[in-house]
Chain A
Amino acid sequence: DTGVSQNPRHKITKRGQNVTFRCDPISEHNRLYWYRQTLGQGPEFLTYFQNEAQLEKSRLLSDRFSAERPKGSFSTLEIQRTEQGDSAMYLCASSYYQGGLTDTQYFGPGTRLTVL
C-alpha cells in the first residue's frame, strides 16, 4: 500500500449534475477526512470519519453534500445538483489515531472538480 488514492483525478460536469468521488485510505487507518481547496485558499475541512462513523461535519458541508464510509475502509463524497461554486480540489486524508492530542493526516492527490 503506497498511500491514499482518490478517483477520479479530474471531473468536469455540468451545473445541476450529481458527482461522486472515491477515496481509498491507507490500510489500517481508522480515520478518514475530506477537505476542499478553492483557488488561492488553503484546504478547508469538510468532514471526518472514525471507522464507519461520521463524527464531525463542517458548516461548509451543505445539504447537497453527503459522505459515507460504509465499511470503515473506502469513502465516497457525493455532491448533488452541482453549482459552479463547487468547483474546487477535493482532498481526502487518512490517519491512524491511537489517542493523544493529534495524529498525522496523510493526503491523497485530490480530485479536481470543474462545474461548467
Chain B
Amino acid sequence: ILNVEQSPQSLHVQEGDSTNFTCSFPSSNFYALHWYRWETAKSPEALFVMTLNGDEKKKGRISATLNTKEGYSYLYIKGSQPEDSATYLCAPSANQAGTALIFGKGTTLSVSS
C-alpha cells in the first residue's frame, strides 16, 4: 500500500503571495502522479498528470515538478488569488494500469484578499 504524504496540511496566504506544497510518495514502483484541485461543493479538477522524472508541467499560474528517484513532487502557485482557495490533492497511481489512485490527505489553501 502506498504511503502518500502532503505538506503542509493547511496554508493561509495573502493575495499576491506565491506558495508551494509538497507531495511525498515511495520512489519504488512509480507509474504516474496526478494533481487535483478540489474546491468546496465542486468536483475535484484534474491539474496535471506526470510520469517522467524531471517532468515539469504548467497551467496558468500553477506549475508542478516531479522527482521520481527521491519520491516527491512540488506544486507551485505564483501570485495567489482568492479563487485559488481549495484543497490540492496529489495521487500516485497504485499500478501500471493507472487505475487505482492513492490520494494524500491534501493541502488546504486559503487566500485572503
Answer whether residue B51 sits at the interface, using C-beta atoms and an 8 A cutoff.
yes
Q: How far is the CA of A84 from the CA of B84 in the complex (A)?
A: 34
Q: Quick one: which of B51, B103, B105 contacts A102, CB cutoff 8 A?
A: B51
Given A42-B89, A42-B103, also A102-B94 (CB < 8 A): no
- Is the CB–CB distance between A104 and B34 below 8 Å? yes
Q: Quick one: which of B49, B100, B103, B105 contacts A104, CB cutoff 8 A?
A: B49
- Is the CB–CB distance between B98 and A101 below 8 Å? yes
In the assembled complex, how far is the CB of residue B90 from the closest CB belonging to chain A, in whole angstroms? 9
Given A3-B43, A42-B104, A101-B51, also A55-B99 (CB < 8 A): yes
- Is the CB–CB distance between B99 and A48 below 8 Å? yes
Q: How far is the CA of A35 from the CA of B89 in the complex (A)?
A: 14
Q: Which residues of B contact A100 (CB under 8 A)?
A: 98
B contact residues, total (Cβ < 8 Å): 27
Answer whether residue A90 sits at the interface, using C-beta atoms and an 8 A cutoff.
no
A contact residues, total (Cβ < 8 Å): 28
Residues of B10-33 contacting chain A, CB below 8 A: 31-32
Answer whether residue A21 sits at the interface, using C-beta atoms and an 8 A cutoff.
no
Can you list 19 A-B contacts with CB-CB less than 8 angstroms, sorted by A residue number?
Answer: A4-B43, A31-B99, A42-B91, A42-B105, A48-B99, A56-B99, A58-B100, A100-B98, A101-B31, A101-B93, A102-B34, A102-B51, A102-B98, A105-B34, A106-B43, A106-B46, A107-B36, A109-B43, A110-B43
15 additional A-B residue pairs with CB within 8 Å, beyond A97-B98, A101-B93? A33-B99, A35-B103, A42-B89, A43-B44, A43-B103, A45-B94, A45-B100, A48-B100, A102-B49, A104-B46, A104-B49, A105-B34, A106-B43, A107-B36, A107-B43
